[in-house]
Structure 1
Amino acid sequence: MVKITEREETVRLLRGAHVVELSVRIWEPEGSEKSLLCIHGFAANSWDFSVLAETMVKSGFTVIAPDMIGRGRSSFLGDPDAYSVRSYVTCIEAVSQFEKAEKYHLGTSWGGVILLAYLASTRWASRGIVLNDVFLESDESVTKLRGMIADEVNRAFPDRDAAEAHVLATRNLEFLEGDRREAFLDNYIMQVNGAWRLRYDPAVTAHFDTRPNFSLLGMMSQLPVPTLMAYGRNSPYANSPHLDTLSKINPRLTVLNDLDDGHPPSLMKPAQVLQIAGFLAQAHAA
């Protein structure tokens, strides 16, 4: 039986005037020679990949998942200017020290956008990419999502029960039970000055109103790496007309837009995990 270790590492780096600590979860089977580096969504953290990791380690993958700065157990900087795309890419560069010889990557929602920026800087040093419900361009649904996050990050709940109910409902994770449910909640909420809040820094949303419009369409049409574009069937991004067009232009893209979820799929349901694992197995065999 292959020995599997699960651990948390702390990576320290200097960003301007800030000494940053990144908390990184690593699930590693003995003798692993391939890795899956996972970047969570904007208002999430590395725990999101714990269920997926349980399956991937059985296939020999080391799974690496950082809490991006301002989230989870990584540094809260309190400075809106510190939360730039360049800063996020630098964080991924620092975490890449844990990758293996064969590199695979996964990004959820906003995390997929940041992951693509990082991979472009490496000249696409990846054997396979999974983009989990990643929006392709600025539109009304992205603006609405930003508004919801900006409201949520500043909410103070009077007790733990209220915070738990909110986070389970908004992440569509009421199905979690037992120890897994408790671990999820412990990683998503925290007590601050007697009130309960979600575990991310309000400063990360400060520049939402000044963010320029963006489009990934040009990049995706030329992406040189086998890529799975996975969407929840109830996601506002699942029926974008661009998906069909991109899959015809770029044969390396595979579109799967009927996962049983909204935005984004949790990757905690067995069918979702099997879809991801199956794609990565194909990419590895290619």
Structure 2
Amino acid sequence: MPSLHEPQLEFVDCANPSGRHAMAWWSWGDCKARHAVVCVHGLTRQGRDFDALARALVEHSDGSLRVIAPDVVGRGRSDWLPQPAHYQLPQYVGDVLTLLQHLHRQHSLHTLDWVGTSMGGLVGMALAGQRDLPLPVPVRRLVLNDVGPAVAWPSIVRMQGYVGRYGTFEDLDHAAAYLRSLSAGFGPVPWSEWLSLSRPMLRTDPQGRLTLHYDPAIGASIAAVTPELAQAAEATLWTLYDAITAQVLLLRGAQSDVLDPQTAQVMTERGPRARLVQLEGVGHAPTLTDSLQMDVVSGFLLAASPGD
């Protein structure tokens, strides 16, 4: 019998405008648990980013919940889309809805919580802020990890400079060093921990060379973003944020170049009035792997609700 603390890999069949694709998803905990915590990663990451947090949540809940972390399409073990233009938020939201409906059919969900890092937080806002989506149950608690409706334009320019532009590596150490050079904002992560985070970020290409796990075509959608498009997206995201009824925890790396202090403050004053926790010595984005960060998230998600 597999350990509840080790990730189990499954796949769900999803639709896209050109056909079908398989989305990989990882789970920890009892597959029959009716409390699901869905964790969704950032733009160029994958579901195994949540290994440490998932284990902590399962342990602290005494096995009463299940943690689910998909590899968003085009990343990790999931299929790649045939059309680069379809790597967009609506596709990601649709895929997660398919996954949640699949989980609900297996074992009826009673409680749904969400942890979203960067892009994963935008997906969470889109799910929690739309009343007409066929969610099996509403999102109860939402953790937004260093992201809000307004994404600072310089950070988009930075992403345009590297997303989809990668080569091959001699070995894990060289790949991990490259990834670390792109991820200074993650903070002072110990090297052994960084290797663990980096290993699932790699795949072997058809020529047998070590390379990154994601479809480089993801970079096309980022390259196409202009200040005007970003401004229009921001207006839509604020509308979604204001409609959220879930309890919201907002984490911000104190040195973040994605979520600026002004946006974070406004998020505490409107819509769901997020509770803001700023993390010193970190930029974009907190890894949720050290004990302090995991305790903040676990404390928020596992706190008793009124009437419990």
- Could you tell me the TM-score, scaled by structure 2's length? 0.81
Residue number among 184, 199, 206 corresponding to 2:213 in the alignment: 199
Residue of structure 2 equivalent to 1:154:
165
- Asked if the contact 2:152/2:257 (under 8 Å) is kept, the reply is no
The count of corresponding residues between Structure 1 and Structure 2 is: 280
Q: How far did residue 29 of structure 1 move?
A: 3.1
Q: How does 1:1-286 map to 2 (within 5 A)?
A: 4=4, 6-29=7-30, 32-58=33-59, 59=61, 60-96=64-100, 97-98=102-103, 100-122=109-131, 125-150=138-163, 153-160=164-171, 161-171=173-183, 172=186, 174-177=189-192, 182-192=195-205, 193-211=207-225, 212-213=229-230, 214-215=233-234, 216-237=237-258, 239-250=260-271, 252-282=273-303, 284-285=305-306
What is the SS of the residue equivalent to 1:127? Answer: strand
Q: Which runs of 5+ in 2 are unaligned?
A: none
Q: Deviations over 1:178-219 (max 9, x none)?
A: xx6554333101232354321110111112233322213343
What is the SS of the residue equivalent to 2:21? Answer: strand
1:66 to 1:122, Cα distance in 2 relative to 1, 3 A: farther
What is the SS of the residue equivalent to 1:256? Answer: strand
What is the SS of the residue equivalent to 2:139? Answer: coil
The letter for the 2-side match of 1:164 is A
Q: Deviations over 1:2-44 (max 9, x none)?
A: x726411111123233321111101123763311011110010
- Asked if the contact 1:130/1:228 (under 8 Å) is kept, the reply is yes
Q: Which runs of 5+ in 1 are unaligned?
A: none
Q: How far did residue 266 of structure 1 move?
A: 0.3
Percentage of pairs with the same residue: 23
* 2-structure distance, mates of 1:225, 1:187: 31
* 2-structure distance, mates of 1:73, 1:30: 20
RMSD: 2.5
- Greater Cα shift, 254-263 or 116-125: 116-125
- Could you tell me the TM-score, scaled by structure 1's length? 0.87
- Greater Cα shift, 215-224 or 98-107: 215-224
The letter for the 2-side match of 1:281 is L
The letter for the 2-side match of 1:163 is A
- Asked if the contact 2:169/2:209 (under 8 Å) is kept, the reply is yes
The letter for the 2-side match of 1:154 is R
Q: Deviations over 1:211-236 (max 9, x none)?
A: 32221334334432110010112212
Q: Deviations over 1:145-197 (max 9, x none)?
A: 322433xx2221341242221113433475142xx655433310123235432
- Greater Cα shift, 92-101 or 262-271: 92-101
